[in-house]
Chain A
Amino acid sequence: AQSVTQPDIHITVSEGASLELRCNYSYGATPYLFWYVQSPGQGLQLLLKYFSGDTLVQGIKGFEAEFKRSQSSFNLRKPSVHWSDAAEYFCAVGPISGGYQKVTFGTGTKLQVIP
């Protein structure tokens, strides 16, 4: 069964500082990987996705993530955090093939940005 672990429940960073959110997955093959962001009381917005190819993927809002097969990780990074980045971030893993798509989410990391 596929699973996702986000070891950090809550992270606080200063505005302008760099950010890295950790994500580890368990899956039988190379999965499709996603990062979503959720602002309070809102639905989820897709930040970026990895399907294949270049292991460093760029997303919206200046975010990037790196797929490391040897570590089963897909960590999210941003060089300089803005106050508007404060939200909850979810890593998710999906099936390698098309067809019926069961996406499994991690428990999330809540990001607080301090001035």
Chain B
Amino acid sequence: DAGVTQSPTHLIKTRGQQVTLRCSPKSGHDTVSWYQQALGQGPQFIFQYYEEEERQRGNFPDRFSGHQFPNYSSELNVNALLLGDSALYLCASSLLSGRGEQFFGPGTRLTVL
């Protein structure tokens, strides 16, 4: 079992650009959540996908969007990048029928210059 995988590992973009991050959930999981972790902070919930639909959303602007595919993998898209979007982006997978126990990937480190 490969666990949760994310790509790419690192990414450097400039302000105003767009970025797409990818996540493959743990085998058997059907729910994917995305978090933003700024330096020195705890993870902040961005949104959660189940059955290819966004089910919950945190306090993030519409520049942050996502997608879930039939194989449960997911993408996070961020448009019009700002310097403040620089962070570690974590993907977590879980079972909807579970109790919130999430398994995390290693994250994608995004740097916006």
Contact = CB atoms under 8 A, between A and B. Distances in A.
Interface stretch (B50-58, B68-76, B77-85): B50-58
Given A105-B42, A107-B41, A108-B42, A32 B90 contact: no
Interface residues on A, range: 20 to 34
A70 interface: no
Contacts of A100: 48, 50, 55-56, 96
Interface in B30-47: 31, 33, 35, 41-45
Contacts, number: 71
A42 interface: yes
Given A104-B45, A105-B42, A94 B99 contact: yes
Interface residues on B, range: 20 to 34
A103 interface: yes
A99 interface: yes
Contact of B42 (A45, A90, A101): A90
Given A100-B48, A100-B55, 10 more contacts: A4-B42, A32-B100, A32-B101, A43-B90, A44-B92, A44-B104, A51-B99, A98-B98, A101-B31, A103-B33
Interface of A: 4, 32, 34, 36, 41-46, 49, 51, 90, 94-95, 98-108
The 5 residue pairs across chains A and B that have the minimum distance between CB atoms:
A94-B100, A105-B42, A43-B104, A101-B100, A44-B104
